[in-house]
Amino acid sequence: MKGNVGIVIVSHSADVARGTALMVEQMVGREVPLGWCGGDPDGGLGTSVEAILAAIDKAWSEQGVAILVDLGGAETNSEMAIEMLPESRRSRVVVCNAPVVEGAVMAATEAASGAPLDVVRRTAEELTPA
């Protein structure tokens, strides 16, 4: 075991991302590596590949990272960011098809139990603990 799966929150809004991160921390404290970002490169609503890459780096775990996204552009930019990762990391980062707030809290709670990446993802997507 090399630590818990990391969680990344990607929203169009920095406020939503930060608020979601606070809810995750309230649930799991600092047991789960956490990264978040929101807003376009100018600080407006949107998402930034550069910021997503930084958030993945912050939440990096050898166990992998699960990304929770809000709307379309967040997903497309997250998938692009994953492709831009070094090859050794690429296969260990997934985007979860789940609502960002509920998904992040569920995923982090599962991750805090030491569950592997595929289980964390499934829990987020089904919104039910494994």
Partner 1 sequence: MIDRQTRKRLLKTVANRVIACADELTDLDRAIGDGDHGANMRRGFEAVLAAVDDLSAKSFGESLKGVGTTLVMKVGGASGPLYGTLFLSLGKSLADEVDREQVVDAFVAAIEAVKARGKSDIGQKTMLDVLYPVLGVLRESGEDLPARLKTVARLAAESTIPMKAIRGRASFLGERSIGHMDPGARSAALMVDAVVDVMEGFA
Binding site for partner 1 (CB under 8 A): 12, 40-42, 44-50, 71-73, 76-77, 79-80, 84
Nearest distance, CB of residue 124 and partner 1, angstroms: 19
* CA 72 vs CA 55, 76, 108, 118, 122: distances in Å: 18, 6, 22, 22, 20
| Nearer to partner 1 among residue 29 and residue 41 (C-beta) | 41
Question: Phi and psi at residue 115, in whole multiples of 5°?
Answer: -65, 150
> CA 48 to CA 32: how far, in whole Å?
23
Nearest distance, CB of residue 83 and partner 1, angstroms: 9
Helix or strand or coil: residue 31? coil
| Nearer to partner 1 among residue 73 and residue 116 (C-beta) | 73
| Nearer to partner 1 among residue 46 and residue 114 (C-beta) | 46
